[in-house]
Amino acid sequence: MEWLTKMNNALNYIEDNLAGDIDFSRAAAIACCSVYNFQRMFSFITDIPLSEYIRRRRLTLAAFELQNTNMKVIDIALKYGYESPEAFARAFSNVHGVAPTSARRMGVHLKAYPRLSFQISIKGDVEMNYRIEQKDAFTVFGVEETFTTENGENLKAIPEFWLKSIKNGTLDRLIKATNENWQGRYGLCPVNSVCCYNDTGNSSFPYMLCALKTPKSNTEGFTEVDVPAATWAIFTTEEHTEEETSSVLQSLIKRVYTEWLPTANYEKIDGYEFEMYYNKENGKCYCETWMRVAKKAE
């Protein structure tokens, strides 16, 4: 279970540095992935952003020290990364429901968030549809924005990006630029999405609403991304309504990280992650999530 070992080693690094500076790049390197993917995997597996987990752990340890030492509140605040007693008091109260000075009283109720460890969960009660495909290099074009995984902001901002692109006509302009007749056509939709095609080195990542470039395409005014030849693990959702797309996809991606990757004979390669959207004659739709993979060494 090499993947689990790497993730737990990254958590060990974070735990060892709660009373100091935590370098997300260092944690991600231990997990053998980018900062974006480390934060994303953590969020999918635990259902909380990495930054929130660190905040909870620091304030848990701060509460222990308030109850068991004579350290000054300001010294504890500085130890756990707060620049002022006021900022520490606000954060402490938000988690524990009491002020730091009150935490020293006997009988006061506090909250403790234990450290996490990643373990494999054997389920198998729900099948997962996937296939492995080798694809030659290809090019997509479209419109892009940069998002961040901090505090799960991308989960809210990306749907808003789609809505904005629909309302301001960007999506229609992109469809028109394909120079294809999509009227009444079922199957793969004209516009899909790709992210992480550039490594920013931090928690931000590029995300593009994209179309496949063909000899017919007019890409003027759009950003082009060349996708290298690769082996892809392609996972398919069940059929769903258009309104359910976001939640269904998030659920599938979580299963990929928590159920498939820990046990598969493949390891994930960072970059160029696609979401492909399909519609059907019955009014339902389904999606695919694509990730680059390589076979694990024997």
Domains of the chain: 2-104 (1.10.10.60), 129-295 (3.20.80.10)
Beta bridge partners of 192: 210
pTM for the model? 0.80
Check pLDDT > 80 for residue 298.
no
Q: Tell me the pairing of strands 204-212 and 230-236.
A: unpaired
The mean per-residue pLDDT over the stretch 80-107 comes to 92
The mean per-residue pLDDT over the stretch 35-59 comes to 88
Phi-psi region of 61 (alpha: psi -120 to 50; beta: other; left: phi over 0): alpha
From residue 68, how far is each of 58, 64, 104, 139, 200 by CA, in Å? 15, 6, 8, 60, 42
Q: How confident is the model at residue 97 (pLDDT cuts 50, 70, 90)?
A: very high
The mean per-residue pLDDT over the stretch 69-76 comes to 93
Phi and psi at 111, nearest 5°, equal -115, 140
- Which strand (E) or helix (H) includes residue 14? helix 2-16
From residue 70, how far is each of 56, 63, 66, 88, 100 by CA, in Å? 22, 12, 7, 17, 13
Query: Higher confidence at residue 195 or residue 261?
Result: 195
Check pLDDT > 60 for residue 125.
no
The mean per-residue pLDDT over the stretch 74-93 comes to 93
Q: 53: helix, coil or strand? A: helix
Q: 256: helix, coil or strand? A: helix
Q: How confident is the model at residue 34 (pLDDT cuts 50, 70, 90)?
A: confident
The mean per-residue pLDDT over the stretch 266-271 comes to 90
What integer pLDDT is reported at residue 238 of this predicted model?
92
pLDDT, tens digit (0-9, with 9 covering 90-100), for 205-229: 999 999 999 999 999 999 999 999 9
Q: Average pLDDT of the chain? A: 90
Copy the structure tokens of residue 24. Answer: 């997300």
How far is Cα of residue 188 from the mean position of the Cα atoms in its chain?
24
Q: Which of 292, 287, 290 is nearest to 188 (CA)?
A: 287
Handedness of CA 193, 197, 201, 206 (dihedral sign): negative
Q: Cα torsion at 27, 29, 31, 33 (round to 10°)?
A: 120
Q: Which of 201, 146, 206, 205 is nearest to 25 (CA)?
A: 201
